[in-house]
């Protein structure tokens, strides 16, 4: 089977959940005999050095990359106030990318064109014009839901009003294009049910993001017994929002009762407000060269999220390395783990702080949660198994009369 994978940012190196989700699935599909081609934007926000591509990308037959300046432009943002278009989506509309897409579609006969996230939908008409391939939308989350939650958690201000306007336009766009693609692949059953409730009517399945367990189980870095960690891209607003909440409302309660604990923070594009923290108990690492080795150094990983959607890959990574993971209800959405068994949940600052203290003072309990979490990921988020189920569905569609070429 020939699959063309379209990405809004280059999926390497593996420094965020989207890159991990794209790469692990494409590798698994390649191992199952699929021929994959990648066409990706290389954005200013997440720019990659594509001239030194890693051998880790040899699962692609061909790789095509187009440069895209998607930086936030105050003038464009102001002009957008008077337009009906979604500013979120318009930043990924590119004539250069469209021209490259046409060239790629004309160069080969693809069975499936897989769009990685909503932001590739502006190119659906072009795909239909130049290809008879099945158009599959892999929805990493419900995009407008993220921004609805961010807006809700923003203090009353001009910023809140502006975010609300942007979110409304994004929601209108996402819903108006809901049935433009042939098949929908969500990362959780929860998202699949919500998309159907919102009006999606075509074929669909939930295909969770999977991990290759051998990449995690073999890592055995030395663990700090008095340290806990946070890791996440800090140019993604939900991560920064959650981290700021933890630092302001949770961490002071923790160190007041256990001043020996250290909180280690790692993340791409760490803002100055975080970098400038001066505390013996808070250690800022910035962007780390290897996220898995960083996670492996600490027995406890905290994931305080209040605005996300879809599935948090970092939670799966922490569990895969048998680390205890403490998160919120929204953080755990899409992952059917059990509270106090293979993960720990807390939504209020007092409960979150007490959970940190309880876990860090009870090594046996922390290890039990970590071991149970690792078994959970192995049983439900195995990459090869999930990829096989998706490939079976694509093959079923190809032989269906409705999709015959």
Distance (Å, rounded) from C-alpha 2 to C-alpha 323? Answer: 38
Domain 2-208+382-403 matches domain 214-380 at the CATH topology level:
yes
Domain boundaries, the chain: 2-208+382-403, 214-380
- Are the CB atoms for 317 and 350 separated by under 8 Å? no
**What single string gives the DSSP state of each residue in 328-386?**
-TTTTTT----BTTTBEE--SHHHHHHHHHHHHH-HHHHHHHHHHHHHHHHHH-BHHHH
Query: To the nearest 10°, the Cα dihedral for 165, 146, 76, 176?
Result: -70
How many Cα atoms within 13 Å fall on the side-chain side of residue 244? 17
Split at pLDDT 50, 70, 90, the class of 400 is: confident
What are the counts of helices (DSSP H) followed by strands (DSSP E) for the chain? 17, 13
Spatial contact of 8 and 39, defined as CB atoms under 8 Å apart = no
> pLDDT at position 405, please?
53
Q: In whole angstroms, what is the distance from residue 313 CA to residue 16 CA?
A: 8
Give percent of the chain above pLDDT 70.
98
CATH fold of 2-208+382-403: Rossmann fold (3.40.50)
HSE-CB for 226 with a 13 A CA cutoff: 10
d(CA 215, CA 212): 6
Helix then strand then coil, % of the chain, to nearest 5: 45, 20, 35
Structure tokens at 285: 């690492």
pLDDT of residue 404: 57
3-state secondary structure of 5: strand
Enter the pTM of the model.
0.88
Dihedral angle at the C-alpha atoms of 43, 204, 331, 149, nearest 10 degrees? Answer: 70
214-380 adopts what CATH topology?
Answer: Rossmann fold (3.40.50)
Q: What is the pLDDT of residues 93-151, one digit of tens each?
A: 999 999 999 999 999 999 999 999 999 999 999 999 999 999 999 999 999 999 999 99
Q: How far apart are CA 399 and CA 45, in angstroms?
A: 40
pLDDT at 212 over 90: no
DSSP assignment of 77-141, as one string?
HHHHTTSSS-HHHHTT--HHHHHHHHHHHHHS--SEEEEESGGGGGGHHHHHHH---EEEEEESS
- Whole-angstrom distance, CA of residue 210 vs CA of residue 59: 17
Give the pLDDT band of residue 320 (cuts 50, 70, 90): very high
Query: Where residue 84 falls among pLDDT bands split at 50, 70, 90?
Result: confident
Share of the chain above pLDDT 90, in %: 74
Task: Give burial (CB, 10 Å; 0-12/13-18/19+) of 57.
Answer: middle
Give the residue from 291, 259, 267, 235 showing the smallest Cα distance to 14: 291
On whether the CB atoms of residues 243 and 304 are closer than 8 A, the answer is yes
Most confident listed range (3-17, 106-120, 147-161)? 106-120
Cα 318 to Cα 154, 168, 298, distances in angstroms:
29, 34, 10
What band does 219 get if pLDDT is binned at 50, 70 and 90? low
pLDDT tens track for 222-263: 677 889 999 999 988 899 999 999 999 999 999 999 999 999
pLDDT tens profile 18-77: 998 999 999 999 999 999 999 999 998 888 888 777 777 899 999 999 999 988 777 777
Q: Higher-confidence residue: 219 or 225?
A: 225
């Amino acid at each position: 089977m020939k699959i063309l994978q379209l990405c809004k940012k280059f999926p390497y190196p593996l420094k965020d959940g989207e890159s991990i989700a794209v790469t692990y699935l494409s590798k698994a599909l390649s191992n199952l005999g699929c021929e994959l081609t990648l066409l990706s934007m290389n954005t200013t926000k997440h720019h990659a050095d594509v001239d030194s591509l890693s051998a880790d990308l040899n699962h692609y037959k061909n790789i095509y990359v187009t440069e895209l300046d998607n930086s936030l432009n105050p003038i464009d943002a102001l002009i957008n106030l008077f337009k009906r278009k979604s500013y979120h989506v318009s930043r990924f509309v590119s004539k250069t990318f469209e021209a490259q897409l046409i060239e790629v579609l004309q160069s080969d006969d693809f069975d499936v064109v897989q769009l990685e996230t909503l932001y590739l939908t502006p190119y659906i008409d072009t795909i239909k014009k130049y290809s008879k391939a099945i158009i599959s939308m892999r929805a990493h989350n419900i995009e407008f839901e993220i921004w609805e939650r961010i807006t809700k958690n923003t203090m009353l201000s001009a910023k809140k009003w502006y975010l609300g306007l942007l979110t409304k336009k994004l929601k209108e766009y996402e819903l108006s294009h809901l049935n433009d693609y042939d098949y929908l692949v969500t990362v959780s059953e929860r998202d699949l049910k919500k998309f159907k409730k919102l009006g999606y009517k075509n074929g669909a399945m939930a295909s969770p993001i999977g991990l290759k367990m051998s990449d995690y189980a073999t890592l055995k870095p030395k663990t700090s017994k008095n340290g806990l960690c946070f890791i996440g891209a800090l140019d993604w607003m939900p991560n920064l929002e959650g981290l700021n909440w933890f630092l302001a409302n949770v961490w002071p309660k923790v160190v007041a009762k256990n001043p020996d604990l250290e909180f280690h923070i790692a993340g791409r594009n760490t803002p100055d407000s975080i970098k400038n923290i001066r505390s013996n108990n808070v250690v800022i690492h910035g962007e780390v060269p290897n996220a898995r080795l960083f996670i492996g150094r600490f027995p406890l990983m905290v994931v305080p999220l209040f605005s996300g959607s879809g599935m948090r890959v970092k939670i799966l990574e922490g569990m895969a390395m048998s680390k205890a993971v403490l998160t919120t209800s929204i953080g755990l959405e899409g992952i059917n783990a059990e509270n106090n068994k293979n993960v720990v949940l807390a939504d209020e600052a007092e409960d979150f702080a007490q959970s940190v203290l309880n876990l860090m003072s009870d090594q046996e309990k922390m290890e039990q949660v970590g071991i149970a979490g690792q078994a959970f990921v192995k049983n439900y988020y195995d990459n090869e198994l999930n990829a096989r189920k998706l490939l079976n569905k694509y093959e079923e569609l190809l032989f269906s009369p409705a999709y015959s070429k």
